[in-house]
Structure 1
Amino acid sequence: MYRVSEPFDLRCAKLIANLGLAGEGEVLAVKPLTGGVASDIAVVSLPGREICVKFALPKLKVAEDWRAPVHRNKAEYAWLMAAAACAPENVPALYGWSPADNGFAMEYLTGESVYLWKDALLKSAPDQGEAEAVASVLGRIHAASTVPGFDQSPFRNRDDFYALRLEPYLNFTASKHPDLAPQLSGLVDSLYAADSVLVHGDVSPKNILFRNGTPIILDAECATMGDASFDLAFCLNHLILKALHLPASRRTLSASVLRFWARYEPEISWEDPTALEARVTALLPALMLARVDGKSPVEYLSEQERGRVRRLAIPLIAGPARNLTDLITVIDKD
């Protein structure tokens, strides 16, 4: 049975054995991977191959006290399986989930053709249409989850979503900005009640690899039935924050926000696209503020840049822009 106190190498070896991938004694090496705050992840070397294993942590690795149930690991694996059904090239190969270990194994993605989208953005690498590619995949996955007969049962996770996203991002930020509490609480209530679309919950450039130009989406620990606006705003927020951080890339990144929406919009079949865009536009500045004053602030912004985000986000929360074009116009004028 899974125990956090077990040596990590032993936990990995037990998972490998329980999944029937190899015997415990066949594990040649375990190399922990860094960068995440919510899970323990490692590359496990076996005879002739390497695979990736992942276990959810009960307490996230951030300065604030942030806890979440480890069974979210099962929801993540279920999201990967659901995504694989309609976009198999956009998720890693899956090797099994173990209820005894609260962990799963998947393909280890590496090689010269593989890069992390976040790294490319922060290096101001030439735009290769990444935003549009991600939008297309996300739209197809969202649309597939609204088709009659889609099995929603693995994704009745709104309380986990609240613990992982709504409380640490929006409610915690409201405690720092009580004058915005009515607007932020309204967003929380709406997102908590929604259940129309399968939401990934962490569509961030740090969770998206590109291999030969194809996006591969990872880290779906927050997966739940919810509102598509969360995934869209969460991803677009990272593009906006990097636009504010990287003056030389600002025009490209701002334009990529609108290209993202233009590519995603044709996939919307479950509701009026204008209504969805309005919710994205209202949520985006709240997430901007949350990434400087919430429990998980982005690490690359200077204090001056954080102040600039607050200056832009606060009035847009109080009085949202009409659509994404208007929102980007406001940001570009600052």
Structure 2
Amino acid sequence: MTTPLTTDTAVEHLRDRGVLGADVAASATVLDGGVSSATFLVETEGERYVVKQPLPYLSVADVWPARLERAGVEANVLGLFGALTPDHVPRLVDYDPKRFVVTMAAAPPSWVEWRAALLRGAVDPAVGETLGRVLGSWHAATRDDPEVLERFGDLGMFVELRGDPYHRTVAARCPELAGPVLACLDELLAERRCLVHGDFSPKNVLVGADSRVWVLDHEVAHAGNPVFDVAFLLHHLVMKAVHLGARDGAAPPRVHACARAFVDAYAAAGGLATDARSAARHTGALLLARVHGKSRATYLTPDEVSRVSLIGAQGVRGELAGVDDLFGAAVRSDPVD
């Protein structure tokens, strides 16, 4: 068992690793908001670093164990994606394989988490377009690359962090939907076409001026089916449309436009997961996971949970043909049983 870092030991860790000199003044603060890692911001007079150490159990209501070795995956992926799109991921500074600690450059203080911006109703389709272009370029660049498929071929952590707590938990709790939900998981485990991020979510996107973005949290990355990344972002945007639409009827069309910009830019960049109906099915499975699985979307009200559950069921059963149908279902006003 590794010793957990604290605000005091995070600074000492960077000194021990040679990132900070012995005479460099530094302070550390806890970065809140994540459930999978202890994360700290370490600041000196001229530098800012994020120091991240994974938790052996995720901080959720259900018991959710995960291997600490996922930190090594994140470090490796930061190096690879950093070479492909250096402007869209933080720079890897150091990785300590004994303590499973990743150190990376921190974003400028003015940058904001995209999830927080979306929940405030600040929806910028240019961010969706940039994310589609970045994701499409990652998938295209790693397509059928034998070295990548070998290096990231272990699906164990994907199953621990996604397959079990999402699909298999939904199948157990919603047996009437177990068939199509588990069929989605089978597709994800069977097809290995490129390097998949695995957590392509608004909470893992930082946005700066002129819609500049960084994509964070690469620890679930694996050689797999690219539809997972496309569906993962789409399901978050569908939930935001449902949530915002309860207060502002003009918000869902903005989120829809953002999603459309994302999928169009993804396809234009050479993205591999361009089958709209397949993306809708996988989006449906993930929507169900966020209201019935181990990783609940806590900002949804009970009525919104019911709406998301209905959209998820329609999607995973193949009743929705693509992005337009998903967002059409998100704004429907018919009662949910």
TM-score (norm 1): 0.91
Q: Map Cα deviations across residues 282-331 of structure 1 (whole Å, 9 max, x no partner).
A: 11111111111110111210111111112222233223323333333343
d(CA) in 1 for partners of 2:80 and 2:153? 14
1:94 aligns with 2:106: no
Decide which moves more: 232-241 or 149-158: 149-158
1:144 aligns with 2:141: yes
| Counterpart AA for 1:110 | P
Q: Which residue does 2:182 correspond to in 1?
A: 185
**SS of residue paired to 1:246:** helix
Query: 1:221 Cα shift?
Result: 1.1
Decide which moves more: 226-235 or 188-197: 188-197
Cα distance change of structure 1 residues 152 and 46 upon mapping to structure 2, 3 Å threshold: farther
Count of matched residue positions in the alignment of Structure 1 and Structure 2:
328
Q: Which residue does 2:29 correspond to in 1?
A: 31
- Maintained 8 Å contact 1:73/1:221: yes
Decide which moves more: 89-98 or 41-50: 41-50
| Counterpart AA for 1:87 | T
**SS of residue paired to 1:259:** helix
Cα distance change of structure 1 residues 76 and 328 upon mapping to structure 2, 3 Å threshold: same
RMSD, aligned CA = 2.1
d(CA) in 2 for partners of 1:15 and 1:269? 39
Query: 1:211 Cα shift?
Result: 2.0
Q: Map Cα deviations across residues 239-264 of structure 1 (whole Å, 9 max, x no partner).
A: 11010001121111122222211111
Q: Identity of paired residues, percent?
A: 30
- Maintained 8 Å contact 2:149/2:194: no
- Maintained 8 Å contact 1:132/1:260: yes
Query: 1:149 Cα shift?
Result: 6.0
d(CA) in 1 for partners of 2:47 and 2:298? 34
- Maintained 8 Å contact 1:15/1:101: no
Alignment of 1:66-81 (within 5 A): 66-81=64-79
**SS of residue paired to 1:69:** coil
Query: 1:25 Cα shift?
Result: 7.0
Q: Map Cα deviations across residues 96-144 of structure 1 (whole Å, 9 max, x no partner).
A: 11112211111111333x1211111111125251111111111111111
For residue 101 of structure 2, the aligned residue among 100, 103, 125 is 103
Decide which moves more: 38-47 or 63-72: 38-47
Cα distance change of structure 1 residues 11 and 223 upon mapping to structure 2, 3 Å threshold: farther
Query: 1:157 Cα shift?
Result: 2.7
Query: 1:147 Cα shift?
Result: 6.0
Q: Which residue does 2:115 correspond to in 1?
A: 118
Alignment of 1:18-57 (within 5 A): 18-23=16-21, 26=24, 28-46=26-44, 48-57=46-55
1:159 aligns with 2:156: yes
| Counterpart AA for 2:269 | E
Gaps of 5+ in 1: none
**SS of residue paired to 2:148:** coil
TM-score (norm 2): 0.91
Query: 1:150 Cα shift?
Result: 4.9
Q: Which residue does 1:289 correspond to in 2?
A: 288
- Maintained 8 Å contact 2:132/2:262: yes
Cα distance change of structure 1 residues 48 and 331 upon mapping to structure 2, 3 Å threshold: closer
- Maintained 8 Å contact 1:56/1:73: yes
d(CA) in 2 for partners of 1:269 and 1:22? 40
The runs of at least 4 aligned residues of structure 1 exceeding 6 Å deviation read: none
Query: 1:267 Cα shift?
Result: 2.4
For residue 191 of structure 2, the aligned residue among 194, 207, 210 is 194
Q: Which residue does 2:321 correspond to in 1?
A: 322
**SS of residue paired to 2:62:** coil
d(CA) in 2 for partners of 1:168 and 1:70? 17
d(CA) in 1 for partners of 2:84 and 2:38? 28
| Counterpart AA for 2:20 | A
Cα distance change of structure 1 residues 7 and 144 upon mapping to structure 2, 3 Å threshold: closer
Cα distance change of structure 1 residues 173 and 25 upon mapping to structure 2, 3 Å threshold: farther
Query: 1:268 Cα shift?
Result: 2.8
1:84 aligns with 2:82: yes
Decide which moves more: 186-195 or 86-95: 186-195
Gaps of 5+ in 2: none
d(CA) in 1 for partners of 2:260 and 2:42? 40
Q: Map Cα deviations across residues 130-186 of structure 1 (whole Å, 9 max, x no partner).
A: 111111111111111116465334312311100001111111111110111111111
- Maintained 8 Å contact 1:158/1:224: yes
For residue 265 of structure 1, the aligned residue among 257, 264, 267 is 267
